[in-house]
Chains A and B, each alone.
Chain A
Amino acid sequence: MSLPAHVKTANRKPVYAFVGNPNCGKSTLFNALTGLKQKVGNYPGVTVERKIGTAYSQHGQPMTVIDLPGAYSLAARSPDEAVTRDVLLGRRTDTEMPDRIVCIVDASNLERNLYLVHQILDLGRPIILVVNMMDLAIKAGLEIRVDQLEHQLGIPVIAAQAARGQGVIELKLAMSRQDLPLPRHRWDIPAEISSAVSEIQASLQNFDQKPPLIARAESLLLLTDQDPLRVSGSQPISPQTSKILQNWKTTWQKAGTDWAGTLVAARYDAIGKLTADSVRQVDTFVAQNTSDRIDAITTHGFWGWTVLGALMTALFLSIFTLAEYPMGLIEATVVALSDTVKGAMPPGDLRDLITDGAIAGVGGVVIFLPQILILFFFIGLLESTGYMARAAFIMDRLMGKVGLNGKSFIPLLSSYACAIPGIMATRTIEDPKDRLVTILVAPFMSCSARLPVYLLMIAALVPNGEVPLLTKVGLMLLMYALGTFGAFGFAWLFKRTLLKGDPPLMIMELPPYRMPKIKDVTLHMIERAGLFLKRAGTIILAISIVLWALTAYPKAGEDATAAEQIAQSYAGQAGKLIEPAIKPLGFNWEIGIGLISSFAAREVFVSSMSVVFNVEEDEEDTAPLREALQNSRWPDGRPLFTPLVCLTLMIFYVFAMQCISTVAIVKRETNSWKWPLFQIGYQTGFAWLLCLAVFQIGSALGY
């Protein structure tokens, strides 16, 4: 008998897939094997991270390695799992079907980990099994006989401890083998469902042109896929097959057959037989493990909140203190760069385009990079230690009140510093609807770019700028509270209307605590930041140039001041154009310019106001600008920045969607323009309505 075509790899680069449950140490092993030779991107059409790397065999031959997203089962419940399933089944046209599979399992809970392996064994492809985290198994008093597993499965089984680099060489040697054996895998499909499986298999072979083994594996999967989750990029099954499947399901439902349960139980029976010989509880008395002891504190009714509070305080303190220095450095670099260009080029539009458009615009966003990096690092740290799951566990009840689950907590919290890492962190939320709702409301959280605006407005409240500390703090807290309530309110609304779905589940593993691998966390942080710079950077550059052009053209004439120039520029015209819309909120066209320019980043409002009111911008001292604001008048002589207007403007900044980088990231994370546009519409619309109410009621009350 000759081997099937995909097994012969002598003449081409073999393609390996790394598969395993979440938290099994898969990525550590992948990083160890491929080093920095990785390509990280997205699977087209879905926001699931796609990691492909190159490893070298013992003989120096390159091998392609695909690090598939962590999955508990091939019966997918999240886009991540759907991608894993589809790649393994060769359903995706954008990714080569792997010809060999490396399954990684966590030795300390072998049975559950083997469930996925058992499904993969059905595929009939050469498999290498890596039993990782052997140290944890020993600590749990388990003895795992790798030779027994090898003997029973007929495939190479490698004991490993990837975090310490153990087993990596052995895996590499196994991967270098030309003659990787096919697994010995016999298990009896339960009688109640076996005829259905054969019928669906036949249909998949005939109508969907699937090879026999894949067809069998798929037919088994279709029975446990309750709501077959289809993701973009995967081929749907033929109508004939789905009809047969539906007929069987109807029959079973009538007869009261628990088809899916039977199938799962049969797999666990088979796994039980496998582990009966290979796993032994050698130490029957196992003390409460370290993780349980830590959990007794971190999920405690009092200490749990204390730990969470302390961690979050540490996060925000480090963002605002540690980031300060590199932010100053970036700012200085931007200024220096801009000065160099100014010195090297003759004055003119091109020079201004480069300095005031490109450099200033991109610089204004890049300045947030240190904060973003710290956030990514911190989120990565929380993820890799296992604390993230605990935070989700204790926050679940609160988040549940608005229809979300605990996993939305960290993304929303991160958004207080910057919505971008927050939105990118929503990938851990399995349910696509919950994830979308979290993305939609995340920008309500007052990010650090709003701070300069709040501070300026608070300073402009009273003539001498000496706002009592209590008022200052109170107003700041009010802004944060407004954003938070807005986020939760809209989450509640969306979960009931637009994105109505089942109540989210909280079926989540609490992985054992681990020492974080700083290398992996750093790598992850750099990847994320790189993605942000690449995707948002191009859009930011384009928008910055457009915004610059709007303020620079048409020309006012040679000796016009900057204020005169901006007043008659397109931006000024646009400000005047939108004045009728913002006048009911108490804003004039000059503020309108600020609102428009805030699309680059909210804190640009401050510099726009400096230009508009012709004040030399000074970071250290906002007093001149404050005075200019206080002296500004409507044409009829009424003061422009009354306390009420300042407050209304702050509220507008809480709710309106004004950040182009966020728009770019939402576009990327939702894969369409629909949601970012919706977000701009609903957030800004709501901001307008709320400000209208505040200003009109306030005016009526005589403020």
Chain B
Amino acid sequence: MAESISLSALTVGASAVVKSFPINGTAFIRLREMGLLPGTRITLMRAAPMGDPLEIKVRGYNLTLRKTETDHITVEPLQEK
């Protein structure tokens, strides 16, 4: 079982499962509505050239979000097969 880390700390190209999420804040409600929920599998695709924002793949599409949000999202990295 891998340790839970913040989404910002995930390595590029790695997949992870979302563990937890702040309850409040418009950003987080919207992220949930966009399909990013505890238990959802994501892949960190890349960071923008200047390091922020990040791009993740979730439910088959690509989504960008800033580190101000990803810092608060904890994920559990999936072991590479």
Contact = CB atoms under 8 A, between A and B. Distances in A.
Given A109-B61, A400-B66, A506 B26 contact: no
B80 interface: no
A224 B33 contact: yes
B34 A394 contact: no
Interface in B53-67: 53, 55, 59-66
B52 A400 contact: yes
Contacts, number: 127
Contacts of B64: 389, 393, 396, 506-510
B45 interface: yes
Contact of A112 (B23, B27, B61, B69): B61
Contacts of B38: 265
B29 interface: yes
B34 A507 contact: yes
Interface string A253-267: 000101011001100
A388 interface: no
Contacts of B31: 507
B30 A507 contact: yes
B48 A299 contact: yes
A264 B69 contact: no
Nearest to B59: A111
Q: How large is the interface on A (under 10, 10 to 19, 20 to 34, 35 or more residues)?
A: 35 or more
Interface string B15-46: 00000010111110111111101100000011
A638 B26 CA distance: 63
Nearest to A74: B33
Contacts of B49: 299-301, 304-305, 394, 397
A397 B48 contact: yes
A268 B60 CA distance: 15
A295 B46 contact: yes
Contacts of A295: 45-46, 55, 62
B62 A510 contact: yes
A293 to B, nearest CB: 12
A593 B76 CA distance: 69
Interface string A264-306: 1100100000000000000000000001100110011100110
B23 A227 contact: no
Contacts of A304: 49
Contact of B63 (A110, A115, A261, A508): A508
Interface in A77-119: 77, 108-112, 115
A108 B59 CA distance: 9
Contact of B26 (A227, A256, A394): A227
Nearest to A271: B35
With a 10 A CB-CB cut-off, give which of A108, A299, A503 has the most chain B CB atoms: A299
Contacts of B29: 75, 224, 226, 260-261, 264
Given A261-B21, A396-B52, A505-B66, A109 B59 contact: yes
B78 to A, nearest CB: 16
Contacts of A77: 26, 30
Contact of A509 (B23, B37, B62): B62
Contacts of B26: 77, 226-227, 502, 505
A72 interface: yes
Given A397-B52, A505-B66, 10 more contacts: A108-B60, A115-B34, A258-B23, A264-B29, A264-B32, A291-B62, A292-B45, A305-B49, A505-B65, A510-B61
